[in-house]
């Protein structure tokens, strides 16, 4: 009862509508202090350590993350490639089986719907590993409207991330030396307890790491325990995506830096938008118009003065040094490595050049002085 009471203090009213993952019981035993909700599923957000302690540990050792919230949208059938290609401006023409692509999904106005990682099994079989939005329903609607020969579902697949510089030796101990052959943003199949499991070299951190796409909810506790026990000699700890680490790396967050009110051109994802490709996709005309006209704002890094900043629960206004409104900060944190506050923000064209002096309206403080920075932060 004490565990349940502690979780209620975090403001979540637990019910069957909030989905647990195969690893939720394990993170509870590890002393999870709070959850967020992504894709109607529980995401651990804090453990016993502070965010700074967690950051330094992630940079030096290895962590195990329950990221089962990264739900999969499985698309199978003779028109699978046709549907996925229609959903994204990134050309899939040269995508090989066993590879992962980071792809923006856009609506008819060129706005971002999601920024999943696409895993290609075959030309007739894909997984979209999604951020927080109902891509499953979007894909189903498109398939029905276009009368495509596909089957779309959410499979019984639950990612578990192993992140940090010691992730490779740990997973060699568990899955064998072949794990070292995996290239970045590629995946392969590995045996676990008589099952075949997909493991990709990827993850939401700037450290080396892997994501295990566990197939079969019932195998979750065993997988966690095997990795946890093998990881003790590597100083393993439970963790979750670390805000300091992700902002330093310039990793964007859907719902913060990206929404349907921002296009991939405005969020620095132009290299994933093949607008001159022959393939058609939703929002192509809108994005081509925007590119021809030129964007007026873009996501940039910001370094700013002052005491360690509070969490950025709402966008903070940005101003030029002359007091003109130029955009907003969407994510921010104090970096113990850089010894500065750092953030991500969408900034107007007249002020987005590196080194431009700006002012930040941090809640509870006078306007803080700062400068525009390129990403990632050095």
The rounded distance, in Å, linking the Cα atoms of 309 and 314 is 13
Contacts of 232 (CB under 8 A, 6+ apart): none
Q: Which residues of 235-257 are buried (b: 16+ CB within 10 A; e: fewer)?
A: ebbbbbbbbbbbbbbbbbbbeeb
On whether residue 252 sits in a domain, the answer given is: no
How far apart, in whole angstroms, are the C-alpha atoms of residue 303 and residue 247?
Answer: 11
Torsion of CA 229, 191, 41, 154, to 10 degrees: 180
Of the three residues 129, 153, 177, the one that is the final residue of a domain is 153
Residues 48 and 172 in one domain: yes
Query: Which of 247, 275, 306 is the endpoint of a domain?
Result: 247
Amino acid 9: pLDDT: 43
Query: Over 80: is that where the pLDDT of 8 sits?
Result: no
Taking the CA atoms of the chain, what radius of gyration do you get in angstroms? 21
pLDDT in tens, 322-351: 999 999 999 999 999 999 999 999 999 999
Same domain for 60 and 96: no
Residue 262 lies in a domain: no
Q: How much is the average pLDDT of 41-57?
A: 96
Long-range contacts of 216-219 (CB under 8 A, 24+ apart): 216/156, 217/22, 217/156, 217/158, 218/22, 219/22, 219/192, 219/193, 219/195
The pLDDT of 165-191, averaged and rounded, is 98
Q: How many CA atoms lie less than 13 Å away from 143 in the CB half-sphere?
A: 24
Residue in 99, 133, 140, 138 with CA at minimum distance from that of residue 117? 99
Please identify which residue in the block is written with the tokens 């805000």: 243
Number of helices and strands in the chain (H, E): 9, 21
Domain count, the chain: 3
pLDDT by residue (tens digit) across 207-262? Answer: 889 999 999 999 999 999 999 999 999 999 999 999 999 999 999 999 999 999 99
Residue 108: name the closest of 278, 319, 260, 269 by CA. Answer: 260
Q: Are 308 and 376 within one domain?
A: yes
- On average, the pLDDT of the chain sits at 95
Alpha helices (runs of H) in 156-219, residue ranges in sequence order: 167-175
Residue 354 lies inside a defined structural domain of this protein: yes
CATH of the domain at 373: 2.40.30.110
207 and 351 in one domain? Answer: no
Q: How confident is the model at residue 354 (pLDDT cuts 50, 70, 90)?
A: very high
Confidence band for 11, pLDDT divided at 50, 70 and 90: low
- Classified as helix, coil or strand, 123 is coil
- pLDDT tens-digit profile of 112-164? 999 999 999 999 999 999 999 999 999 999 999 999 999 999 999 999 999 99
CA 339/CA 26 separation, integer angstroms: 34
Domain of 315, in residue numbers: 296-378
Provide, for the chain, the percentages of residues in helix, strand and coil under a 3-state DSSP scheme, each rounded to the nearest 5.
Answer: 25, 30, 40
Q: Note whether residue 290 is domain-resident.
A: no
For residue 253, tell me if it sits in a domain: no
Instruction: State what percent of residues in the chain have pLDDT above 70.
Output: 97
pLDDT exceeds 70 at position 54: yes
Both 122 and 93 in one domain: the answer is yes
**pLDDT of 2 higher than 70:** no
Nearest alpha-carbon partner for 13 in 29, 37, 32, 33: 37
Same domain, 195 and 333: no
The whole-number average pLDDT for the span 341-367 is 96
The CATH number of residue 212's host domain is 3.30.1360.120
**Residue 28 pLDDT class (50, 70, 90 cuts):** very high
Please name the residue ranges forming H helices in the chain.
2-8, 24-29, 51-60, 80-87, 135-146, 167-175, 220-231, 243-248, 284-293
Q: What is the pLDDT of residue 10?
A: 58
| Burial bucket for residue 293 (CB in 10 Å: 0-12, 13-18, 19+) | exposed
- 105 shares its domain with 176: no
If we measure between CA atoms, which residue out of 157, 300, 280, 137 comes closest to residue 218?
A: 157
**What are 249-299's pLDDT values in tens digits?**
999 999 999 999 999 999 999 999 999 999 999 999 999 999 999 999 999
Token pair for 277: 């490709």
Question: Taking 50 as the threshold, does the pLDDT of residue 302 lie above it?
Answer: yes
CATH number at residue 124: 3.30.70.1400
User: Is 278 domain-assigned?
Assistant: no
The CA distance from 331 to 257, in Å, is 8
Give the position of tokens 């953030």.
343
242 and 202: one domain? yes
CA dihedral 124, 130, 136, 139 (to 10 degrees): -60
Q: Is the dihedral of CA 333, 335, 340, 342 positive or negative?
A: negative
Residues 133 and 178 reside in one and the same domain: no
Looking at the structure, tell me whether residues 164 and 241 fall in a common domain. Answer: yes
Total residues found in the chain within this entry = 378
Domain stops at, among 103, 119, 153: 153
Q: Tokens in use for 281?
A: 């996709």
Is the pLDDT higher at 239 or at 365?
Answer: 239
Q: How many CB atoms lie within 10 A of CB 146?
A: 12
Say if 318 falls within a structural domain. yes
Q: Are residues 94 and 39 in the same domain?
A: no
Residue 184 pLDDT: 97
Average pLDDT over residues 58-74: 98
Same domain, 27 and 82: no
Question: Is 377 inside any structural domain?
Answer: yes
């Amino acid at each position: 009862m004490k565990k349940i009471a502690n979780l209620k203090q975090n403001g979540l009213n637990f019910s069957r509508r909030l989905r647990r993952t195969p690893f939720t019981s394990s993170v509870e035993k590890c002393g999870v202090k709070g959850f967020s909700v992504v894709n109607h599923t529980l995401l651990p957000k804090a453990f016993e350590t502070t965010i700074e302690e967690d950051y330094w540990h992630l940079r030096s050792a290895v962590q195990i993350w329950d990221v089962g919230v990264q739900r999969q949208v499985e698309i199978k059938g003779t028109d699978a490639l046709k549907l996925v290609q229609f959903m994204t401006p990134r050309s899939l023409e040269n995508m090989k089986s066993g590879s992962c692509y980071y792809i923006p999904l856009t609506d008819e106005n060129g706005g971002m719907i999601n920024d999943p990682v696409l895993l290609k099994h075959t030309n007739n079989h894909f997984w979209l590993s999604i951020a927080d939005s109902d891509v499953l329903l979007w894909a189903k609607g498109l398939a029905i409207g276009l009368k495509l020969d596909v089957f779309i579902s959410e499979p019984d697949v639950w990612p578990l991330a192993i992140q940090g510089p010691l992730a490779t030796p740990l997973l060699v101990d568990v899955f064998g030396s072949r794990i070292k052959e995996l290239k970045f943003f590629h995946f392969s199949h590995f045996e676990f307890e008589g099952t075949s499991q997909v493991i990709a070299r990827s993850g939401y951190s700037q450290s080396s790491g892997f994501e295990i796409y566990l197939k079969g909810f019932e195998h979750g506790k065993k997988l966690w325990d095997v990795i946890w026990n093998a990881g003790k000699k590597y100083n393993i700890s439970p963790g979750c995506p670390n805000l300091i680490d992700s902002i330093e790396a310039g990793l964007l967050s859907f719902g913060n830096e990206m929404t349907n009110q921002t296009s991939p051109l405005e969020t620095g994802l132009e290299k994933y938008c093949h607008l001159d490709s022959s393939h058609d996709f939703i929002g192509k005309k809108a994005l081509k118009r925007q590119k021809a006209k030129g964007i007026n704002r873009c996501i940039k890094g910001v370094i700013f003065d002052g005491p360690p900043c509070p969490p950025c629960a709402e966008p903070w206004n940005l101003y030029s040094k002359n007091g003109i409104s130029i955009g907003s900060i969407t994510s921010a944190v104090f970096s113990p490595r850089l010894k500065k506050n750092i953030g991500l923000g969408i900034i107007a064209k007249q002020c987005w050049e590196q080194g431009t002096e700006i002012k930040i309206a941090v809640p509870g403080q006078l306007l803080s002085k700062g400068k525009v920075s390129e990403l990632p932060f050095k």
